Amino acid sequence: MSQAQSAVIVMEGGDTPHTNIAGAMRAWRNQLTIETIRQLQQCDGIWIVVCSNQPLIRSYCQQEQILLLDTSSISPFSFLKTLQAACTYLIDQHVTIQPSLRNAIVLGGASLPLAKTADFQCLIDSLQNRPRTVWANNPVSPDVVGWTPIDAIHQIKHVKTDNGLAAALRDQACLIYQLWPDRLQFRFDIDTPIDLWMALRNLNFEPSLSKLAQGTFTQENEDLFARAEMNIQGLLCRMKEKQLPAITLIGRISPQIVQFLNQEIKVRVRCFSEERGMKGLGRDEQDLVWSLVADWFERFPSYEDAFQQLAKESDAIIMDTRVWMAHHRLVLSDEDRFASDLLWDERIADSRLRRLTNAARFCKAPVLLGGHGLVNQGIHFLLKVRVQKVVK
């Protein structure tokens, strides 16, 4: 530890919902955060700092004597001020005993669920001997960011979320912008229940984590994944049965995913990619998001008609609904968003989202709803890993 050059700051917090689906996601994210910290504890040459208001995470840090910034009393929460406070603490408290501390990485507790100790070590090592550089795991909306020097964070005057941090360090602190390697374990994160479903079905998590997820998403003898899973299975069957199936993709689809489909999957793709980087660029906060697809949906008598029109030329439809939500300036609870992802329309309070979800649920072609992860890394899981398993 005396030679540590890097600090890794793990930020995981927010409200503790008592609703079914959002509460299940919070419980699972807390456990995943602890697993991330465990992996980091095995890395060489780092200080770990955890910023959280979650009792379970705080208790683990106290038990393991990990540096903890308790954010439970910070109201309103500020991502930038909390991050700057963590860096200030490191610089002030360890400058005499830790003169080699040079750089930092910040990530959310569920930002790298696939990463193991060697993967984290790769990110940490990449920061060494690269002066005045910022690294990001995504070109438009990164949720893992590393930078050198650590005190460059104090040159940032404004950034609201982790998605805009890398651009802020580039533009406000004049750091050189670099991307970490395009690997699945550096890109896939778990923001929604559908992300979690894909990870659970395709990856080898720690047995305790998998058991917890299955338990928290089975409530009142009802599997909350059941409806989305039925549509996923419908998609997979069509992929198997048809020689050249047609898939419609809607939302923040990256060029890399389109390239992946063209090179590795026998499929016809109709792709409506729009508003990539809407969070990193702050377009959602400024009410600047405009979606061609969302506008097109409103031209039909009903959302059912819009989906049925898509189904005429699609064997399956995969939709990142967050662009549609931002287009309509909807202020939604996590419970509403997550219930929509899992196609539980009757659990949704917002009437517009409830109508969209109901129309997707009963569309003739299977429809999958979710966020950014679904139409990017999620497609890798669904159209390669799962299809290969079905074909075999």
Contact 142, 163 (CB under 8 A): yes
Task: Look at residue 195 and tell me if it is in a domain.
Answer: no
Same domain, 249 and 183: no
Euclidean distance between CA atoms 359 and 19, whole angstroms: 24
Contact 149, 102 (CB under 8 A): yes
Task: Give me the number of domains the chain comprises.
Answer: 2
Same domain, 178 and 221: no
In angstroms, the Cα distances linking 150 to 51, 120, 162, 264 are: 17, 18, 16, 41
Max CA-CA distance within the chain?
68
Q: Tell me which residue of 389, 222, 333 sits closest to 214, measured CA to CA.
A: 222
Euclidean distance between CA atoms 87 and 203, whole angstroms: 34
- Give the CA dihedral 352, 355, 356, 359, nearest 10 degrees: -170
Same domain, 236 and 168: no
Task: Look at residue 336 and tell me if it is in a domain.
Answer: yes
Euclidean distance between CA atoms 55 and 357, whole angstroms: 34
Task: Look at residue 229 and tell me if it is in a domain.
Answer: yes
Task: Look at residue 1 and tell me if it is in a domain.
Answer: no
Euclidean distance between CA atoms 385 and 18, whole angstroms: 34
Rounded to a whole number of angstroms, the distance between the first and last alpha carbons of the chain is 48
Euclidean distance between CA atoms 382 and 38, whole angstroms: 29
Provide the CATH number for the domain around residue 131: 3.90.550.10
The torsion angles phi and psi of 213, rounded to 5 degrees, stand at -60, -45
Euclidean distance between CA atoms 221 and 266, whole angstroms: 39
Same domain, 18 and 158: yes
Same domain, 234 and 170: no
Euclidean distance between CA atoms 74 and 95, whole angstroms: 26
Same domain, 113 and 261: no
The residue from 131, 157, 187 where one domain ends is: 187
Contact 179, 141 (CB under 8 A): no
pLDDT score, position 389: 46
Same domain, 28 and 145: yes
Which domain covers residue 316, as residue numbers?
A: 208-391
Same domain, 150 and 227: no
Same domain, 72 and 172: yes
Q: Tell me which residue of 328, 305, 323, 314 sits closest to 374, measured CA to CA.
A: 323
Task: Look at residue 192 and tell me if it is in a domain.
Answer: no
Q: Tell me which residue of 138, 90, 83 sits closest to 112, measured CA to CA.
A: 138
Same domain, 32 and 90: yes
Same domain, 177 and 215: no
pTM above 0.85, yes or no: yes
pLDDT score, position 94: 59
Question: What are the strands, taking DSSP E only, across 184-256?
Answer: 218-219, 222-223, 246-251
Digit-by-digit pLDDT tens for the chain (392 residues) are 446 689 999 999 988 777 788 988 898 899 999 999 999 999 998 999 999 999 999 999 999 999 999 998 887 889 999 999 999 988 776 554 455 678 999 999 999 988 999 999 999 999 988 899 999 998 888 999 999 999 999 999 999 899 999 999 999 999 999 999 988 889 888 899 998 888 777 666 666 666 766 667 776 556 888 999 999 999 989 988 888 999 999 999 999 899 988 888 888 999 999 999 999 888 999 999 999 999 999 999 999 999 999 999 999 999 999 999 999 999 999 999 999 999 999 999 999 999 999 999 999 999 999 999 999 988 887 876 554 444 33
Structure tokens at 377: 């890394």
The residue written with tokens 């795991």 in the block is: 137
The residue from 187, 217, 247 where one domain ends is: 187
Euclidean distance between CA atoms 376 and 373, whole angstroms: 5
Same domain, 169 and 265: no
Task: Look at residue 39 and tell me if it is in a domain.
Answer: yes
The residue from 122, 154, 187 where one domain ends is: 187
